[in-house]
Amino acid sequence: MPEDKVIRIVMAIGVVFSLIYIFFFRLWIGPPNQHMLKNTKYAVGIVTSGYYTERGRSGNDFKFMYDGGDIIEAKANKELTKGRKYLVAFDSVDIKNGFIILEKYDITDSLIQHKILPKYIMYSDTWSLVDIPFQYDKSEIEYDLKRAYEQE
């Protein structure tokens, strides 16, 4: 068997397995549920696309890294600014319980001010509510998270 054909077969198998992994992984993470509010941690979400409308859906793409070290890529039906960083709430015990991007908390400037830099490309820092290093009212963040959860 020629070497080119073997390489193509291996690449095709890799692509198929990658698509299966992405498809099933994405299905595991459902919409935010009540359990998310009990074990909430916060991370830096980076908006990776401008606002768009596509096949009846609209919003922005964003990604964040959670405690497991994995990067989650998702869509938010919100009007966010491409390249800006926002606070993302997620379940620290089980990411399958969901996550919410909090568009009210654009933390781009705060990250610079507090010298919180990304490791490689993504921010790996996560915080509990009391440990968030930015100058926001913690009770207001908690209230906004509950309000955003009810709207999801």
**Amino acid identity of 141?**
I
**Amino acid identity of 25?**
F
Report the predicted TM-score, pTM, of the whole model to 2 decimal places.
0.74
d(CA 131, CA 1): 59
| Own/partner long-range contacts of 141-149 (Cβ < 8 Å, ≥24 apart) | 141/42, 141/87, 141/102, 141/105, 144/102, 144/104, 144/105, 145/37, 145/40, 145/89, 145/100, 145/102, 146/37, 148/89, 148/100, 148/102, 149/32, 149/36, 149/37, 149/100
Question: For the segment 5-60, what is each residue's pLDDT rounded down to a tens digit?
Answer: 878 888 888 777 766 665 555 445 556 767 778 889 999 999 998 878 877 777 88
Domain boundaries, the chain: 1-30, 31-151
Beta bridge partners of 106: 86
Question: For the segment 127-146, what is each residue's pLDDT rounded down to a tens digit?
Answer: 999 999 988 899 999 988 88
DSSP letter at 39 equals: S
What SS3 class is residue 3? helix
Structure token pair of residue 70: 């994995």
* pLDDT at position 123 over 60: yes
d(CA 120, CA 56): 35
What SS3 class is residue 105? strand
Question: For the segment 82-94, what is each residue's pLDDT rounded down to a tens digit?
Answer: 999 999 999 888 8
d(CA 150, CA 67): 24
